[in-house]
Amino acid sequence: MNRIYLIIAGMAAATYIPRLLPFTLLKNRSPSKYLDRFLKLIPYTALGALILPGIFTAVPDMPIAGITGGAVALAICFVRGGTILPIFGAILTSYIIIAL
Amino acid sequence: MAITEFEQANSIACPLIQCLSFCHALKINTIAEQEPFMDDSLQSNIKKKSAFKTGIKAGLPIVIGYFPIALAFGILSKTTGITLLESIMFSSIVYAGASQFMALTMIAMATGTLGIVLTTFLVNFRHFLMSASISGKIKSKKISILPLIAFGITDETFSVASFSKERLVPGFMIGLELAAYLSWNTGTAAGYLLGSTLPESIQASMGIALYAMFIALVTPMAKKSLKIASLVILSGIVNSLVERFASVPRGWGIIIAIMSVSILGVFIFNDEEAKEL
């Protein structure tokens, strides 16, 4: 068999199993107070770790473009909220800085 | 004789009338029972459709963020020397963002199959924590749909769903995940076939899109609570420090950050604050 297909099959299993397992393990079970709180905190801590330090290399050749773009997104969130506007604000900012 | 005839006629007619009126009553009953039932199923159909649409709309920022990255994957997979079919299979069957790029690099470096699969497992194990967090929030009577929802869990769909104000019914989740999935796969095919990205400065500036989305998702809650804001930032700092100074496999900085800071968070919130999470 083609080695690439073997890699794809192996990677698919290695990716899917961690995604699937919690759905089968935690269904029909009410977690304790502390486990519940732990699970509810994961979105916040995950987002923190997804943003930092990745944002410094979001624009690989020009870290300052990524950082400024992120700062503009944050500023728009504080003033206006929403999702689409901060994204386009960030892209536009990065674009201007790269083009400068 | 006349009386008995009448009685006879009556005794035949009566059950008939009774039967008719019973049938009539039954009919009314069944209609009375059916109408609200039909109404319910109609309503739930409308609800299902609108939840699906709402999900697709919620996925729009991911569609924007995924497309240029998928384009880049398509182009890189062509230069690595794999076929179009294999490239699309990576995106449609593995569907794993950064680890697809890593796989291309490792294929080019002639890394062994087992090494590639193990690396993928380590890099993507963070989704175990994300699935664990979100699986409890998904309101579904049908268990058979859950494996499909699990397949679509990525950093981005998890983030959007977690901070969505919508009820996490299957329709919403499938809409959200399908939008992201289609963007990733059309981007891959387009990149491979067209062989060129967007103009370089646009492609580079779009690298910020998903980070801006993450910021936009977490800021409203972080604004409301200093404790939450501190946890978000602390988790980012832990991840940065681990990635910079500790020699852990790639992708484990985020797992260490999520585990340690979430456990810390369990103790700094009281019951009242925890309800707001």
Residues B12 and B111 in one domain: no
- Residues of chain A with Cβ-Cβ distance to B61 below 8 Å are 83-84, 87
- Of B95, B270, B273, B73, the closest CA to residue B187 belongs to B73
Confidence at residue B272, expressed as pLDDT on a 0 to 100 scale: 77
Listed residues B53, B77, B93: the one ending a domain: B53
Q: Residues of A21-53 as b/e, b for ≥16 C-beta within 10 angstroms?
A: bbbeebeeeeeeeeeebbbbbbbbbbbbbbbbb
Residues B230 and B173 in one domain: no
Kindly report the length of chain B: 277
Kindly report the length of chain A: 100
Residues B248 and B182 in one domain: no
**Which of A47, A55, A79, A98 is the best mutation test for B, with the most CBs of B within 10 A?**
A47
Block means of pLDDT (10 residues each) for chain B, 277 residues, are 45 42 41 47 72 96 95 94 96 96 94 95 96 92 91 97 95 98 97 85 91 96 94 97 90 95 93 78
Cα–Cα distance for residue pair B210/A12, rounded to 1 Å: 23
Which one is predicted more confidently, B47 or A48?
A48
Residues B46 and B159 in one domain: no
Query: Could you tell me the residue range of the domain that residue B19 belongs to?
Result: 1-53
Cα–Cα distance for residue pair A38/B274, rounded to 1 Å: 10
Complex ipTM above 0.90?
Answer: yes
Whether chain A has a CB inside 8 Å of the CB on B113: the answer is: yes
Cα–Cα distance for residue pair A36/B266, rounded to 1 Å: 9
DSSP single-letter state for residue B167: -
Decide if pLDDT at A2 tops 90.
no
Residues B44 and B115 in one domain: no
For residues B88 and B210, the answer to whether their CB atoms sit within 8 Å is no
Q: What is the pTM of this model?
A: 0.83
Confidence at residue B2, expressed as pLDDT on a 0 to 100 scale: 46
Confidence at residue B40, expressed as pLDDT on a 0 to 100 scale: 59
- Of B139, B205, B198, the closest CA to residue B172 belongs to B139
Confidence at residue B24, expressed as pLDDT on a 0 to 100 scale: 43
CB-CB under 8 Å, A86 with B216: yes
DSSP single-letter state for residue A100: -
Residues B48 and B65 in one domain: no
Residues B23 and B38 in one domain: yes
Confidence at residue A75, expressed as pLDDT on a 0 to 100 scale: 97
Whether chain B has a CB inside 8 Å of the CB on A75: the answer is: no
Residue B277 burial class via C-beta count within 10 angstroms: exposed 0-12, middle 13-18, buried 19 and up: middle
CB-CB under 8 Å, A36 with B163: no
The DSSP string of A41-80 is HHHHHHHHHHHTTGGGGSSTT-HHHHHHHHHHHHHHHHHT
How many other β-carbons are positioned within 10 Å of the β-carbon of residue B26? 10
How many other β-carbons are positioned within 10 Å of the β-carbon of residue B85? 11
Which one is predicted more confidently, B41 or A93?
A93
CB-CB under 8 Å, B240 with A52: yes
Listed residues B222, B239, B267: the one ending a domain: B222
Residues B72 and B205 in one domain: yes
Query: In angstroms, what separates the C-alpha of B189 from chain A's closest C-alpha?
Result: 17
Angle at A17 between CA A30 and CA B60, to 5 degrees: 85
Cα–Cα distance for residue pair B127/B157, rounded to 1 Å: 11
Residues B31 and B111 in one domain: no
Single-letter code of the amino acid located at A23: F
- Residues of chain B with Cβ-Cβ distance to A92 below 8 Å are 205
Query: In angstroms, what separates the C-alpha of B42 from chain A's closest C-alpha?
Result: 28
CB-CB under 8 Å, A39 with B124: no
Whether chain B has a CB inside 8 Å of the CB on A79: the answer is: no
- Of A58, A85, A80, the closest CA to residue A70 belongs to A58
User: Cis ω on the peptide bond leading into residue A53 (within 30° of 0)?
Assistant: yes
Q: How many domains does chain B have?
A: 3
- Of B58, B238, B264, the closest CA to residue B152 belongs to B58
Angle at B198 between CA B124 and CA B86, to 5 degrees: 45
Residues B161 and B111 in one domain: yes
Q: Give per-residue pLDDT as tens, B118-141.
A: 999 999 999 999 999 999 899 887
Whether chain A has a CB inside 8 Å of the CB on B229: the answer is: no
Q: For residue A7, what are the contacts with CB-CB under 8 A and spacing of at least 6? A: B103, B107, B113, B116, B117
Listed residues B197, B222, B247: the one ending a domain: B222
Residues B195 and B238 in one domain: no
Residues B123 and B165 in one domain: yes
At how many degrees (to 10) do helices B155-162 and B209-224 cross?
Answer: 30
